Amino acid sequence: MYKLICKDGSAKRGEFATVHGVIQTPVFMNVGTVGAIKGAVSTMDLKEIGTQVELSNTYHLHVRPGDEVVKKLGGLHRFMVWDRPILTDSGGFQVFSLAGLRKIKEEGVYFNSHVDGRKIFMGPEESMRIQSNLASTIAMAFDECAPHPCTREYMENSVARTTRWLARCKAEMARLNDLEDTINKRQMLFGINQGGTFEDIRIEHAKRISEFDLDGYALGGLAVGESHEEMYHIIEKTVPYLPLDKPVYLMGVGTPANILEAVERGVDFFDCVYPARNGRHGHAYTNHGKMNLMNAKYELDSEPIEPGCNCPACRHYSRAYIRHLLKAKEMLGLRLLVTHNLYFYNKMMEEIRQAIKQGEYAQYKKKKLAGFAEGGEA
Amino acid sequence: MYKLICKDGSAKRGEFATVHGVIQTPVFMNVGTVGAIKGAVSTMDLKEIGTQVELSNTYHLHVRPGDEVVKKLGGLHRFMVWDRPILTDSGGFQVFSLAGLRKIKEEGVYFNSHVDGRKIFMGPEESMRIQSNLASTIAMAFDECAPHPCTREYMENSVARTTRWLARCKAEMARLNDLEDTINKRQMLFGINQGGTFEDIRIEHAKRISEFDLDGYALGGLAVGESHEEMYHIIEKTVPYLPLDKPVYLMGVGTPANILEAVERGVDFFDCVYPARNGRHGHAYTNHGKMNLMNAKYELDSEPIEPGCNCPACRHYSRAYIRHLLKAKEMLGLRLLVTHNLYFYNKMMEEIRQAIKQGEYAQYKKKKLAGFAEGGEA
């Protein structure tokens, strides 16, 4: 249940009540693809860095260890030892981007596993069953993330099918939530808006899926190759056609700057692999832009990554030490960097919530973006 | 300063006071080769698992980031953020085992760096200077760890040179501890007994180095290919010729069973890479032998690695989850396993100290070994 606490322009400050606790929005979900955060970060660490929601990938967990295994072990919460909300994606995105040869039919998608090549079929019902087995807090509808760019005709057909699939997802989720042996009988379902950069298709689809009265709505198929400006434009034009009393989730986005812009346009939920991916490349997020810790200038630098940062890495360790660990390929270096980066995102969301509440979001965003620009890429 | 609290047979329960705190012995030092524990285990984690002493490798730190860099950053304690004792090895073992082409001369060893191939010279004075720069609590004398097997003649010459090097180490350490800008002016020096499996050479050398009145003594060059029985025999025959009022350190040893046997023969300090190395292979130490978590039988096993174990991995996570992480090559799996294994060693040392104090060491050892034998290799 989503409660809109206040608005500042189009930016929303909300609370989303789930069976696993209340999520304060806007929120950044921390990605744990196979039920674990990259960089050896544990679920105990996540609590320390203020993570509200963990996101896991349905396709990956279906392939390994298998959703039936996770179900037998009591669901994903017990498996990975995390009692706060978990959102699972539908598997669709991975099927369309990772899997080998695939065939899209009305019933769903036939494809080969990226692990062992075995043939798998996944359609709306299969995705819901897998997510029900995983027993996440929020399940995502099974959709097609159409290739970018694609023709208008392709997109229209794809979106129409995604809508038909959504009806099947909703029916199947209702059926599963009623079953005796379902772990989370109050599993929520978010629908996904598609349409690429075709504004009218996006809007039409947003209206259509809003009628399904789901627990939340996502914008899918963005940050797939279009410009930031196109993305912001689509968000701005589409969000008004989604229900104001439901959370809006911008899937797979993005940089801190992307998030600041999207929040301003009414988005509540975010997820992105950047904090971990940048960690792997030796990059740390700071309020003065990204920092490349492999840089020789940090060799003798005894300051923390970001002075004043209260993350477990900055509270204890220096740039020089983390740089040394990265150079020596010690896993601890990656762990400290990823921890810092996730904390940075989580902390920024906290600031965002505060700024919206105080009606100062525009000033906050401006100041934050100016800080990022000081040090280069945000 | 070593204080012998009590003996149980030849097993010693002692306290070793250092400038960085008192070490309760027998003790297992946790190996952090380049100033970090393998498996992304942080120094904060080490405190949680009861680590008393961290061990770092002089050669590795000399090559990267460089001991001068560490000195400029305030020494190894500040660099890696660890306020308890640190022991640094002399670099000798790595020079003899890791480095490329090398030449042993009276003055020291000429060799090529394993990182970039550049020529390095290391002799007793260089080793002391590097360790003084690192500012460890305990420095190890620079010795030759002779190849195994080798001729009696080679060993005699090698040991004689190691004794001459020891005199130079002691003199240089005294000089360094007196310098104005030395970080740890109370750095301790341990001498190293060599002699391979030549009992008489070992004993003669033990007598010789005991005359140097050092802070402690180590047995080097064991567990390099000889049988466990030969190793136990050499320990048993040599330890009585080392001063009872100084700690005895068995370098690079070993399995839990090796440690139990060596403690019984009067050894105080241990170090070994097994807890981390076994972790990398999916092996966990338990009181019922080693467990291979990659084994399919743990797929649905919701028990912790060892029920009742109070380590951070066992307190929270299941065998099934850790197995999944290892199969999926998620770094967190390795971190949890290494954490468990280090805790296992640390906890066993605590039990050993307790058993000696209660005069029940023989029974304790017997029971412990019987437990290990239940599950296979100890």
Q: Is the Cβ pair B79, A321 closer than 8 Å?
A: yes
Per-residue confidence at A80, pLDDT binned at 50, 70, 90? very high
CATH 3.40.50.12280 fits A2-272, yes or no: no
- Residue A100 C-beta-side C-alpha neighbours within 13 Å: 9
pLDDT at A376: 56
Pick A73's closest partner by Cβ from B35, B302, B335. B302
- CA dist B368 → A188, B198, B286, B350, B361 (Å): 51, 31, 10, 13, 10
| Chain segment B307-348, per-residue pLDDT in tens | 999 999 999 999 999 999 999 999 999 999 999 999 999 999
Pick A330's closest partner by Cβ from B34, B44, B69. B34
* Mean confidence (pLDDT) of chain A: 96
Q: Which long-range contacts (CB under 8 A, 24 or more apart) does B227-232 make?
A: B228/B258, B228/B261, B230/B197, B231/B258, B232/B261, B232/B262, B232/B265
Per-residue confidence at B117, pLDDT binned at 50, 70, 90? confident
Q: Are A226 and A180 in contact (CB under 8 A)?
A: no
Say what angle helices A199-210 and A152-177 make with each other, to 10 degrees. Answer: 20
Q: Which residues of chain B have a CB within 8 Å of the CB of A335?
A: 40, 42, 331, 335
Q: Is pLDDT of B377 > 50? A: no
Q: Is pLDDT of B120 > 90? A: no
Interval B214-237 mean pLDDT: 97
| Chain segment B257-285, per-residue pLDDT in tens | 999 999 999 999 999 999 999 999 999 99
Which one of A45, A89, A215, A268 is the catalytic residue?
A89
Nearest chain A alpha carbon to B316: A81
pLDDT at A92: 86
pLDDT at A334: 98
CA distance to partner chain A, nearest, from residue B303 (Å): 10
Per-residue confidence at B378, pLDDT binned at 50, 70, 90? very low
What percent of chain B is predicted at pLDDT more than 90? 92
| Chain segment A353-372, per-residue pLDDT in tens | 999 999 999 999 999 999 99
| Chain segment B71-104, per-residue pLDDT in tens | 999 999 999 999 999 999 999 888 887 766 789 9
End-to-end CA distance of chain A: 33
Q: Is the Cβ pair A320, B69 closer than 8 Å?
A: yes
Interval A184-198 mean pLDDT: 98
Nearest chain B alpha carbon to A76: B321
Q: Is the Cβ pair A38, B331 closer than 8 Å?
A: yes
Single pTM value for the model: 0.97
Taking residue A359's Cβ as centre, other Cβ atoms within 10 Å add up to: 13
pLDDT at B94: 84
Nearest chain B alpha carbon to A80: B321
Known active-site residue B181: no
ipTM of predicted complex = 0.96
Known active-site residue B271: yes
* Mean confidence (pLDDT) of chain B: 96
Burial B60-72 (b: 16+ CB within 10 A, else e): bbbbebebebbbb
pLDDT at A100: 64
pLDDT at A99: 64
Burial B153-168 (b: 16+ CB within 10 A, else e): eebbebbebbbebbeb
pLDDT at B172: 98
Q: Is the Cβ pair B41, A325 closer than 8 Å?
A: no
Query: What are the start-end ranges of the H helices in B239-271?
Result: 256-264
Q: Is pLDDT of A98 > 90? A: no
CA distance to partner chain B, nearest, from residue A375 (Å): 25
Domain regions of chain B by residue span: 2-272, 283-374
The type of residue at A159 is V
Interval A302-318 mean pLDDT: 98
| Chain segment B292-309, per-residue pLDDT in tens | 999 999 999 999 999 999
Contacts of A342 (CB under 8 A, 6+ apart): A30, A37, A41, A46, A49, A51, A275, A276
Q: Which region holds residue B14: left if phi is over 0, alpha if psi is between -120 and 50, else beta?
A: beta
- The DSSP-derived string for B29-87 is EEE-TTSSBTTTB-HHHHHHTT---EEE-HHHHHHTT-HHHHHHTT-HHHHHT--S-EE
Which one of B8, B45, B89, B215 is the catalytic residue?
B89
In the β-sheet with B2-8, what is the strand arrangement from edge to edge?
Answer: B2-8, B11-18, B21-25
Contacts of A210 (CB under 8 A, 6+ apart): A217, A241, A242, A243
The type of residue at B87 is L
Question: What burial class does residue A208 get, using C-beta atoms within 10 Å of its C-beta: 0-12 exposed, 13-18 middle, 19+ buried?
Answer: middle
